[in-house]
DNA sequence: CGAGACTTTGATAGATGTCAAACAGTGTGG
DNA sequence: CCACACTGTTTGACATCTATCAAAGTCTCG
């Protein structure tokens, strides 16, 4: 059922806007590359709402609305596989277990947003940036466990800043400070955490991908493989 | 199916903590009063994540996790009707349309959080407070259309501040400024918007409760009454 | 190798937090 | 029904953090 969604595909370029705010909704599977959703403020600034990674279905948290409440843009070059809204109807009507899975994905994404809200509202610049880095790693290592040690971060600093209410300059300063504090190491675009434990406790980081409970899922018990369900 | 969830009930007092962060999850229907979810920062400050109003089912965005990632506290005196997690299994397995409805609620709440994230990250204090006030009105007038003109706001200023990353003092200053600008009028705890149009365009406010699309719902078409579905 | 995009660094300004004290509203008990 | 205690709000002074501006430095890709 799900693999049928990936029938057609197209490439996207870094910085390309895929969907504008207020346009009709669109759904797609992200095959490769990183993508983000955003809204603009009345004075023209930008807030990034969510990051999406290869394997994600993008747009599911917009299907309840007639028009898209946010825009979508590509952070890197990539490939997307668009599919129609009706493609989801099959999922919701035919498999209640798959529906619960989608619901779970939505809640995990929601939890990530809540963590960023907390950071944006109540934490200093360096810790906000640290949160974004740890969130990226948490998501990436689901697909590729070796990313736990070090991963490539293709985001520009103004993109990071727009996720957590900072300017690109403050992101630069925060990274410098994180390096001096021994919390983050950078080699080119590769990120690692020399004092992983300290970094996580410093911001009370919780990896929501590893706290999933499926006991409430409908149907027979023991779905199995919950840890990697995002992989689809 | 849903009315069975409200079998038992108990009263709660203003300021009472109903669920602590990290406790096992709990679900309840909120009969009366206002309730909010929150997380603490490592340095002991508080971020409020969501407000809940009479009629809401509280805790649904936590069921995916083994432990509650946030706490729940009462903003006013009220009455709650707790029910077990298994109560939701019936909903998810027996009615795919009801499931889609729950999914829709989750997305509407999510959209409200995203709006606050945008405000917290990128908008000045007065406009952030204005957003919270407009969000409260939007939710309240679903149940009671007369609240569109004026509604009672039982929240203390530090609670409002914790929703959008401000101190209680900045909230006070913001309200003063909003009053001077003719955007918000207060009589005791009653709030109204003298220049409603201007207030909404100033922050690009969108009332997500009135933009719902149910065309993707499973089952026969024409559910009807989508505008007030939150009322249950 | 060169042009453009991105990052880093420094100086300054503005917004919000913190602290402290006065003020107002609310509920309770006599 | 009033006085009092408590909770919450308002105001002002000051400190801190982050944004903005500007310029130098670095990387990347053609």
pLDDT, tens only, A178-210: 999 999 999 999 999 999 999 999 999 999 998
| Cα of A80 to nearest chain B Cα, Å | 22
For residue A189, give the H/E element and its range.
Answer: none
Q: Are A96 and A42 in contact (CB under 8 A)?
A: no
Give the separation between CA A74 and CA A54, rounded to whole angstroms: 12
The mean pLDDT value of chain A amounts to: 89
Q: How much is the average pLDDT of B99-103?
A: 85
As a whole-number percent, the residues of chain B with pLDDT over 90 amount to 71
Q: Are B27 and B84 in contact (CB under 8 A)?
A: yes
Q: Which of A103, A81, A106 is nearest to A7 (CA)?
A: A81
What's the pLDDT band for B230 if we cut at 50, 70, 90? Answer: very low
pLDDT at residue number B232? 41
Q: Are A79 and A9 in contact (CB under 8 A)?
A: yes
Q: How much is the average pLDDT of B26-44?
A: 94
Give the separation between CA A51 and CA A153, rounded to whole angstroms: 12
As a whole-number percent, the residues of chain B with pLDDT over 70 amount to 94
pLDDT at residue number A226? 41
pLDDT at residue number A220? 60
Residues of chain A with pLDDT under 50: 221-232
pLDDT at residue number B92? 73
Biggest alpha carbon distance in chain B?
A: 54
Cβ-nearest to B65 among A93, A202, A211:
A211
Cβ within 8 Å, pair A212-B70: no
B-proximal residues of A, 27-46, CB under 8 Å: 39-42, 45-46
Instruction: Copy the structure tokens of residue B149.
Output: 């003109």
The mean pLDDT value of chain B amounts to: 89
Going by the DSSP 8-state scheme, the letter that residue A211 receives in this structure is: -
Residue A44: φ, ψ to 5°:
90, 0
Asked if B231 reaches chain A (Cβ–Cβ under 8 Å), the answer is no
Domains and CATH numbers, chain B: 3-94 (2.60.120.10), 100-210 (1.10.10.10)
B228 pLDDT higher than 50: no
pLDDT at residue number B181? 96
Beta-carbon contacts of residue A123 (< 8 Å; ≥ 6 apart): A131, A203, B41
Cβ-nearest to B63 among A67, A216, A218:
A216
Q: What is the pLDDT of residues B111-136, one digit of tens each?
A: 999 999 999 999 999 999 999 999 99
pLDDT at residue number B224? 43
pLDDT at residue number B79? 93
Distances (CA, A) of A152 to A15, A32, A104, A166, A189: 18, 14, 27, 21, 5
Instruction: Copy the structure tokens of residue A176.
Output: 């410098």
Q: What is the pLDDT of residues B130-180, one digit of tens each?
A: 999 999 999 999 999 999 999 999 999 999 999 999 999 999 999 999 999
Residue A188: φ, ψ to 5°:
65, -125
Which of A117, A201, A208 to mutate: most B Cβ within 10 Å?
A117
Beta-carbon contacts of residue A20 (< 8 Å; ≥ 6 apart): A68, A71
Asked if A211 reaches chain B (Cβ–Cβ under 8 Å), the answer is yes
pLDDT at residue number A204? 96
Strand order in A27-32's β-sheet?
A: A10-12, A78-83, A27-32, A57-58
pLDDT at residue number A6? 72
Q: What is the pLDDT of residues B175-226, one digit of tens each?
A: 999 999 999 999 989 999 999 999 999 999 999 998 888 887 876 644 444 4
B-proximal residues of A, 47-86, CB under 8 Å: 47, 49, 61-67, 69-70, 85-86
Number of CB atoms found within 10 A of residue B21's CB: 16
């Amino acid at each position: 059922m799900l693999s049928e969604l990936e029938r057609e595909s197209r490439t996207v370029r870094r910085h390309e806007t895929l969907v504008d705010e207020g346009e009709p909704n669109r759904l797609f599977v992200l095959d490769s590359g990183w993508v983000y959703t955003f809204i603009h403020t009345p004075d023209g600034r930008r807030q990034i709402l969510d990051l999406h990674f290869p394997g994600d279905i993008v747009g599911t948290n917009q299907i309840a609305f007639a028009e898209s409440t946010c825009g979508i843009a590509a952070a890197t070059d990539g490939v997307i596989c668009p599919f129609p809204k009706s493609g989801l109807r099959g999922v919701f009507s035919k498999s209640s277990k798959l529906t619960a899975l989608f619901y779970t994905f939505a809640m995990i994404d929601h939890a990530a947003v809540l963590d960023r809200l907390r950071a944006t509202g109540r934490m200093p610049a360096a810790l906000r940036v640290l949160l974004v880095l740890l969130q990226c790693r948490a998501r990436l290592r689901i697909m590729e466990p070796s990313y736990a040690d070090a991963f490539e971060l293709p985001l520009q600093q103004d993109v990071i800043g727009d996720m957590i209410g900072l300017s690109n300059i403050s992101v630069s300063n925060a990274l410098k400070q994180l390096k001096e504090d021994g919390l983050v190491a950078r080699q080119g675009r590769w990120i690692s955490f020399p004092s992983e434990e300290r970094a996580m406790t410093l911001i009370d980081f919780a990896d929501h991908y590893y706290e999933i409970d499926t006991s409430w899922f409908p149907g027979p018990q023991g779905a199995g493989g919950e840890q990697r369900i995002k992989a689809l």
